[in-house]
Chains A and B, each alone.
Chain A
């Protein structure tokens, strides 16, 4: 099945800093989503972005489908941005299920 790798696994930043999270995937995809998992476990939708660029406030994402990667940018980080960020994809081929990466744990220090 499709492989999804996220980097870095852990990121510790000072409040106000900017960050870039990366998601690499091994096959063509027709669905790519970024999620933020809150402390209670719920996955919060950030972006649905199988290709192109989107922005939502301090967050933006870019997916380059032909090169099989996606980037999530967080600017002017706040402590509430802390948590685990997941990338998940659905491959064009094989079983059409959402496959998750292992996540990036972001810690924002005041």
Chain B
């Protein structure tokens, strides 16, 4: 069965712009989590959604937001982009929260 699909794979944006990233989980999986990976900070948790509800949120500013749709697909949005937002954004899907997580290929965002 198809894995976790993230789009787009690469993105270049200008400081001050906003961006939306998409994640389609494995069919049947209802939980989606987002992570940011940077060389300096490692892998940091952004937020988790289950059945269209945000269950957890990491320590990120309000410029980072997300949502989950009824078909379990999820989007995350970053407004007023800063240079420090340049990172690999990874999405994970799992059947339920706290079960085995499977990751997509990631979206590499560069802010210039």
Contact = CB atoms under 8 A, between A and B. Distances in A.
Interface of A: 30-31, 33, 35, 40-43, 45, 48, 86, 88, 90, 95-100, 102-103
Contact of A42 (B33, B98, B106): B106
A66 to B, nearest CB: 20
B92 A31 contact: no
Interface in B45-87: 45, 48, 55-56, 58
A86 B90 CA distance: 14
Contact of A31 (B42, B98, B102): B98
Contact of A96 (B88, B97, B105): B97
Nearest to A31: B98
A56 to B, nearest CB: 14
Contact of A41 (B37, B48, B98): B37
A45 B55 CA distance: 23
Nearest to B37: A41
